[in-house]
Structure 1
């Protein structure tokens, strides 16, 4: 780890979607440092074409914990469409045996659940492997979104 990267660190960032992918993060956030897998209790991954999360008692939202600079955060804000498409908040994240507050993004408009594109899904699967996150979380969220899409089609 370079000393200049350490000196630019400003915040903890919890990624559960595209930014679990290390290749994407290195392009978007060149100062970022991957710390490891982390989790948020009583929340779960959802899809509305893109990754989102929802409060859900008893579930665990798995993700990647990053150290990011203020420049990285501005880059993420632009990428995530903050504050119109995604909003930011801070939540308690479990990392190893420690709990800490980390910033994360959540969709502003909560529409119907729908599955992601195959490109987006593959980027997430790669990121989850790179970040040592269980792929099951993606599969469950896609199955849930697919079930909701089927129910919506049936009710028309």
Structure 2
């Protein structure tokens, strides 16, 4: 599974998303320009000590990304989509793209890929959800559809003797 961030602006969001990617075995793809430097302390703090375990790639722009992933299935999360993320079938090799916090994915990219646009339903008086929350919501649905392949699906309680 792959998460793509198109020109992310807030380091804490990208750090949180990076941590989610590590926890799920998901690759993170960053399309420049970024609104921060990758060595910023806010990015590292949000990603905690997981950042060095992250499979991350950077691209100069969307064309560079497309050239390096020809024929890739790219779902585009946007508030402008007509269908919900729960109405599509995700594959384990799919890419799920999210736009920058202030403006989303550019309209010209969305228009060219309208059949792959998906949205998270929400009230009409809200502009959007937080980027890292949006990534988690859609990514976990994609993983659920694929039976959480490669992830631990159950834990174990340690029963203590209480007095």
TM over 0.5: no
**Structure label with greater radius of gyration:** 2
Q: Which has the higher strand share?
A: 1
TM-score (norm 2): 0.29
